[in-house]
Structure 1
Amino acid sequence: MCGRYVADTSIDDLAAEFDAIAAGTVAELMPSYNVAPTDRVPVVLERTDEPPERTRQLHAARWGLIPSWAKNSGTAATMINARIETVADKPAFRGPVARRRCVLPARGYYEWQRGAGRTKRPYFIHPAGGLLAMAGVFEWWRDPSAPADDPHRWVLSASVLTTAPVPGLAHIHDRMPVLLTAEEIPDWLDRSNEDTGALLDLARSAAGRVGTALAARPVGPDVGNVRNNHAGLVDEAAAAQLPLGG
């Protein structure tokens, strides 16, 4: 986890939900029922353009972090997740987790349970109501191939933090996203707080509490194809087409 998720909430509703200002090109994003690696997704973050004032903003980011020192964007697809156990030690994530943390809103996420042989059954894991606030980190990367006057030369990218699953989800997969409640979000986004150890402890505790309230339901196999992107992907009725196989 996390390899696919649902981000179908309107930008206006996200801005209201997270008390954020829509910025950049985020208004261009369309609802997605099958977010895949390298897709552009909404993220909530803090900017400090005029210190000491901080502004919470909603931006469009590429899902899959591109380190600031990367020569190209090819690493993005392999860096959609960061393990909470090692995020503070990895060169690509050490700086972002200390100073550039974000939230990736989602209605829920997909996970695949292994069955007999190569069989896998997809599940949609979601809260009873409302949205998930997935803890993440972000980075700005300057595309060296873009002209200096190109307004798109700076690329915003992000990764989702993952942790061990709560007991109720462990039978599906051995990882789950780090999930925050409304109470933890201000501390997580606060760029003036560089106490990484305390922040990660806060995130672990929140994930355990939020995770116990999640529901998991089987869905159909169409979600496995990134070209499929429609509301029916989260329909439990479609799951009857796919046997567990073990």
Structure 2
Amino acid sequence: MCASYGLDPRFTDAELIAEADEDILEGLRTWAAENAGETLRPTGKNLRNLNPILVDADGEITVAPAWWGFLIDGAPSRFPSINTRSERLQERPGSLRSRAIVPATGWYEMKKPERVWHEFGLGGGALFGMAAVTQRGRTADGEWFTCYSVVMRPAPEHLAGVHDRMPVLIPTPFARDWLSAQGDRELIDEALLAAASLDERVTAVPRTDDKGTERLF
């Protein structure tokens, strides 16, 4: 599963939406710089870290802060909700009614049994988008948030030896469809086909510190 990812303000080759709006890219750079290189993790009830996502607001794509994981009855859900399997969305497309794109420059997974962390990405610090489904959620004190869950799929063969699942990456030509098209079984099927077009570009690199020891995220 994807439980942490990175957003480096030095990102290159933005691959989020066609003719990416400079205001969106600058907003992401500013947020990432203010985040001081911290790894993005699921939102907690005590430390309410909100992460940037891209959403369709009345036909205009904007950046919005969001809670990673679902809130149910005023509290973080008791079931795993930071990730959603693509297979589940194919079986129950009703969950596709509200969607987002999560900007990232890499995500992190541990290779077992070696327990070595790897960073996955498109190489060269490229900015890319991960598919997500969203819903509104309320905390116990009555504050409302947009909550998101990253959509996961089986990893292609050349990555499966490190981790058997990966986020559904949304290539630029499909981004507006993912955000604004009707949410049905056909949409998730098309998203999986679109994501496969990026498979050959995805790499997994072991993460080590200057002393050669494994770096934990």
Band the TM-score falls in, shorter-chain normalisation: 0.7 to 0.9
> 1:162-206 deviations in whole A, cap 9, x for unaligned?
00001110000110000011001010001xx32511111111112
Alignment of 1:88-167 (within 5 A): 89=91, 95-97=94-96, 99-115=97-113, 119-129=114-124, 130-143=126-139, 145-146=141-142, 153-167=143-157
TM-score (norm 1): 0.71
Question: Is the CA contact (8 Å cut-off) linking 2:98 and 2:183 kept in structure 1?
Answer: no
Question: Is the CA contact (8 Å cut-off) linking 1:15 and 1:21 kept in structure 2?
Answer: no
Call closer, same or farther: CA 1:120–1:144 in 2, change over 3 Å: closer
Call closer, same or farther: CA 1:44–1:76 in 2, change over 3 Å: farther
Distance 1:20 1:139 in 2: 27
Structure number with bigger Rg = 1
Letter of the 1:84 partner, please give it: S
Question: Is the CA contact (8 Å cut-off) linking 2:95 and 2:133 kept in structure 1?
Answer: yes
Question: Is the CA contact (8 Å cut-off) linking 2:4 and 2:42 kept in structure 1?
Answer: yes
2:184 corresponds to? 196
Question: Is the CA contact (8 Å cut-off) linking 2:52 and 2:64 kept in structure 1?
Answer: yes
Residue of 172, 177, 182 corresponding to 2:162: 172
Distance 1:28 1:195 in 2: 29
Q: CA deviation at 1:156?
A: 1.3
Question: Is the CA contact (8 Å cut-off) linking 2:70 and 2:76 kept in structure 1?
Answer: no
Distance 1:15 1:201 in 2: 20
Call closer, same or farther: CA 1:33–1:127 in 2, change over 3 Å: farther
Q: Percent identity?
A: 28
SS in 1 for 2:201: coil
Call closer, same or farther: CA 1:35–1:162 in 2, change over 3 Å: same
SS in 1 for 2:100: strand
**Is 1:182–2:182 an aligned residue pair?**
no
Alignment gaps of 5+ in structure 2: 44-48
SS in 2 for 1:212: helix
Deviates more, 1:179-188 or 1:122-131: 122-131
**Is 1:43–2:48 an aligned residue pair?**
no
2:82 corresponds to? 80
Supply the RMSD in Å over aligned alpha carbons.
Answer: 3.0
Distance 1:42 1:85 in 2: 25
TM-score (norm 2): 0.79
Alignment gaps of 5+ in structure 1: 49-53, 147-152, 221-234
Distance 2:161 2:170 in 1: 22
